[in-house]
Amino acid sequence: EDHPDVPPQFFFLFDLGIAWELEEFCTIFFSGLHHHGGMQVRYKAVRLTSRPFLRLIVLGYPQGHVIRGEDVVAFAALPNKVVLPVGKELRDPTLAHPLAQRPHCTQATFAADGLAILTPYSYFRHISRSVVMLVSDILRQAHPSLIPRFDLDLMLASLTAVIEGKRIRAPPWEVGPGWRGADAQPGADIAQLLKDVFDVSEPAQLSVADLSRLWNSDSVDTTHPYANPAITRALNLRSQARREAPRSIPLRSPVLGEPLQREPLGARRGKPPTRPRICRQARGSAGQDHSEQPSTSEATDTASEEDPSSQSEDDTPEMPAPAESSCPEESPGAEPSIEDDSREDSAPAPDGSALEDGLPSGSSPPNSRCSTPADDPACVSPFEDVDSSDSSSSDGARFQRRRTLALDKVEMTAVRNLVSTAERSNTKSTQLTCQASTTALVALIEAPCSADLLKHALEVSRFVQGGAVLSWSNTANIMLMNMLLWEWIEREAVAAFSNSSHPYHPLSVAVREALGGARPCRSLDAADYLPGFERGVSVVKVNPCGGVVDDRVAIDRLIKALAVFLSFPDVVRYRPRAWYTRELLQRCGPQVLLIPSLSKAANNVSANVLGLHKNAVPTPELR
């Protein structure tokens, strides 16, 4: 609307003597290296009205491509904040002709070097589809009121190449980003469509949502991109593949039914240990009395050590391997089952041990036990699943307390197997550290709000974050301990919100109030909610999220607050490791944690397991 009572204004370029009249809305593309201004220096407008008025002026300075002479105007935008120029080399026929000699770039490109890795047909197909994607992205940036489209089939058919002596068209693309049929047909009556469907006469009168629907297709009710159901099916298949990809373990291991590569899991120096030697050393480390007369397997081992060529296929260590004849409770060739507890009640072997193959020297088999646990308390794991009828009253009471840990069968088996292996390690410090950490974890689970809460949490956290891993079995224990630690705190957080008598319930209420509050930030002091803390030592700041607080968000924030209070390992790094370990146990069993590559993959679950960016944050949904 014009305002005749508003005095005119001008934009001056003093050095050039140019004045630009400023109307209600105007846009100026201007490159000024000297003075410029919106009005004359000495001009004083005569106000003819007391009403205020606004005048919007947009000054557009040219892009760097234009200033450097590479282009007249930046044509379109490419990903990662890069501008696509159309320079003079593309506009000048003498330079744009295929016979023109002009340098492109010093880097290898697919257009120039693609034939080195692809067949001519695949090379031409990739180029044609890349051209389609580039055109589609450029039209996506055009003004939507024009509803720009292109015919995908016609564009591909317009690209030809000579392959095997015959000129062919580019092959069709079922899921290409373009329009087909009536959506790209010239002469369509859009005015009638606008009137019937949207009750407007011009596309510019549509809302952003309606304009996007019309840009997608004349069939405005369709939910398929470019009105192409094939694209929707392809996207669904891709989404399903991304969800299922983290559930597979791309390893050649016996757990997945494939042969394991011949790499020793035990000693990394010298000659790889053979199975008979492993069994003999395991029996010796357990303090068992054996006959001095070498058995047939020992004689075979001696012969293989003297003559490497005499070592047979069966002497190659595998994990898990069929049981030796010294394990009468298992049939030969039977694979140990982690979910079958009947092995615990079976009769012990004649030599007093229950050996498993594939263990390194100096370590006991996962399911082995001390022959005299009462005489050697260090051999008894805090998680040892012993029968109360075979133990003293104190042992039976301790076992009943262990039953309150809410650990399922797989978890109990994993803890029993791997923790006992670390306790039998040759390194005394590893044994003591593992015992102290498992004892501290039991104390956390049994008394989540005791006076020694912080002490026990620090003990477990130091073990989980231990940088110097002394053995492969200790690595497996670290993964297990980390899993149990985070699953414990997750259970406590869920219980705190649902049970008003839970010791962490006041903290959960404070976290929910802080998330839904209006203040910018609220500080929560551990001394107000947990015993054994001094005021001001451990403080967590909770930022409000606005609106209604979802239970999942509140529980997740409570977990992070407890992790800070109890000095847990970094939640971004170590909590996904716990999810990863749980998936391994449920799908493959505890034996899979002995594979070095799996424990290394836990160092970066985002990149090594989920295939995401290294800085991506995994979520429970990605499991």
Three-class HEC string of 54-106 = CCEEEEECCCHHHHCCCCCCCCEEECCCEEECCCHHHHCHHHHCCCCCCCCCC
> Would you say residue 126 has pLDDT above 70?
yes
**Model pLDDT for residues 227-280, shown as the tens digit of each residue:** 999 999 999 998 888 888 766 654 444 443 444 444 444 444 455 556 566 666
Asked whether 567 and 458 are in contact (CB, 8 A), the reply is yes
CA 333, 334, 338, 343 dihedral sign is negative
Residue 173's CB: how many other CB atoms inside 10 A? 18
Most confident of 122-126, 381-385, 398-402, 551-555: 122-126
| Interaxial angle between packed helices 472-498 and 453-464, expressed in degrees from 0 to 180 and rounded to the nearest 10 | 140
- What letter would DSSP give residue 568? P
**Model pLDDT for residues 367-412, shown as the tens digit of each residue:** 333 333 333 333 333 333 333 334 344 444 443 444 334 344 445 5
> Would you say residue 39 has pLDDT above 80?
no
State the amino acid at position 300 in one-letter form.
T
The residues pairing with 27 across neighbouring beta strands, listed in sequence order, are: 58
> Would you say residue 327 has pLDDT above 70?
no
Residue 218's CB: how many other CB atoms inside 10 A? 21
Between 263 and 466, the more confident residue is 466
CA–CA distance, 143 with 204 (Å, rounded to integer): 10
Q: What is the pLDDT averaged over residues 577-588?
A: 82
The residues pairing with 12 across neighbouring beta strands, listed in sequence order, are: 19, 37
Residue 542's alpha-carbon distances to 358, 518, 558, 581, 619, in angstroms, are 49, 12, 10, 29, 20
The residues pairing with 160 across neighbouring beta strands, listed in sequence order, are: 169
**Residue 138 DSSP SS3:** helix
pLDDT at 425: 47
pLDDT at 99: 73
For residue 512, give every residue at least 6 positions away whose Cβ sits within 8 Å of its Cβ, in sequence order, or none. Answer: 497, 549, 554
Confidence band (pLDDT; 50, 70, 90) for 25?
Answer: low
CA–CA distance, 393 with 378 (Å, rounded to integer): 19
Phi, psi of 542 (to 5 degrees): -115, 120
The residues pairing with 11 across neighbouring beta strands, listed in sequence order, are: 20
Indicate the average pLDDT of the chain.
68
Q: Which of 301-310, 382-391, 528-537 has the lowest mean pLDDT?
A: 382-391
Percent of the chain with pLDDT over 90: 14
Most confident of 78-92, 304-318, 468-482: 78-92
pLDDT at 129: 96
| Interaxial angle between packed helices 428-446 and 409-423, expressed in degrees from 0 to 180 and rounded to the nearest 10 | 150
CA–CA distance, 544 with 523 (Å, rounded to integer): 11
Q: What is the pLDDT averaged over residues 216-230?
A: 92
**Model pLDDT for residues 491-509, shown as the tens digit of each residue:** 888 888 888 888 888 888 8
Between 69 and 412, the more confident residue is 69
> Would you say residue 526 has pLDDT above 90?
no
Confidence band (pLDDT; 50, 70, 90) for 154?
Answer: very high
